[in-house]
Structure 1
Amino acid sequence: MSTEQGTYCAFVDSPAGQLLLTADEFGVLTSLSVPGQKGGRVPLPGWTRDPGPFRAAEEQLAAYFAGELKEFRLESRGEGTEFRRRVWAALDDVPYGATTTYGAIASRIGAPRAAVRAVGGAIGANPLLIVRPCHRVIGADGGLTGYAGGLDRKRLLLGLEGALQGPVRPTV
């Protein structure tokens, strides 16, 4: 949003650490950040601390971490360029327990192979960690490359989803 007025926020405890959730004045989820996240949000003066708008998100996150939820169904909005929104939409299509590569995401959105770095930048700018599964993107060699929330969290999330059995290989 262009202004921070009307922004709601709440902290939610999780196995991945304390999560900071933000929502706009209509209660639409706008970000989910983890402590120490590269480019993550921090509460600003003027934000309203209120868990009310986040009840559904808190319930779904608890179910996800308990292994009972495979797909989030939350109204959300992340601001970004058209390119970033296309990358983020492709992330939303990577199923629970599956992994993909930066190159596969580039191909999925019709970007040239040379756009892999730009795809990585868009993935790194994902404002909705965990909910929008950027943790499911791995290197072409199967390596756990880059994650704004840190590689330990990426391992945690992929392990929770059962995607770390043996060497990690792209599955979609």
Structure 2
Amino acid sequence: MTETIDAQVLPTPIAPLSLLTHGGVLVAAGFTGDPGEMFARLPAKLRALPLNPVDDLGKPARAVRDYLDGDLFALDSVEVDQPGTPTRQRLLAALRAVPPGTTVSYARLAEHAGLPKTAARAAGGACAQNLIAPFVPCHRVLPSVGGFGGYYYGAHVKEWLLGHEKAL
């Protein structure tokens, strides 16, 4: 049996959400109707596999539907895997620990990851390179100076997600 990257696009109230799995583990998710956009951001070893559209990815798709229906912790149950240095992995783990309905600053995220306050820039980089939104909830990180800050899929998507979670 050939290994593949399985992909499904789900409708959401704000934008289509593409989900990509490898061996049942979520390796990419993003607010785009074109899974190829997410596929292009994967590490080379995964891009070497064929992209396989499927009708139902199972648990990740159910988690999205449950999240949209109000179970704000549903995304936490999905296994994810993305590349990164040990520092980046600590930041991504800290991101997953930020509860729905709350926000943190980049500096606070770095602190939660056990990194010095000077690592706020690294926290911003981890958010910018996050391949698995909203499962790794970088939308819950706001600049300490106010506003929404950047978001790969647009500030309007970040604002919608925070509103859905009632974190505004």
TM-score norm. by structure 1 comes to: 0.82
Contact 2:72 2:100 in 1 (8 A): no
Match of 1:33 in 2: 30
Contact 1:71 1:96 in 2 (8 A): no
Provide the secondary structure at the position in 1 that maps to 2:151.
Answer: coil
Pick closer, same or farther for the CA change 1:11–1:158 going to 2, 3 Å.
same
- Structure 1: runs of 5+ lacking an equivalent: 165-172
Q: Which runs of 4+ in 1 moved over 4 A?
A: 42-45
Shift of 1:152: 0.1
Give identity over the alignment, percent: 32
Counterpart of 1:133, as a letter, is P
- Structure 2: runs of 5+ lacking an equivalent: 41-46
Give, in whole Å, the separation in 1 of the partners of 2:78 and 2:113: 23
Shift of 1:114: 2.3
Give, in whole Å, the separation in 1 of the partners of 2:68 and 2:160: 10
Match of 1:21 in 2: 19
Match of 2:44 in 1: none
TM-score norm. by structure 2 comes to: 0.84
Higher helix share: 2
Where in structure 2 are the equivalents of 1:66-105 lying within 5 Å? 66-72=69-75, 73-105=77-109
Counterpart of 2:29, as a letter, is L
Give, in whole Å, the separation in 1 of the partners of 2:142 and 2:58: 31
Computed over aligned residues only, the root mean square deviation of the Cα atoms, in angstroms, reads 2.1
Give, in whole Å, the separation in 2 of the partners of 1:69 and 1:106: 23
Counterpart of 2:67, as a letter, is Y
Instruction: Please tell me whether residue 120 in structure 1 is matched to residue 118 in structure 2.
Output: no
Give, in whole Å, the separation in 1 of the partners of 2:98 and 2:29: 18
Contact 1:60 1:69 in 2 (8 A): no
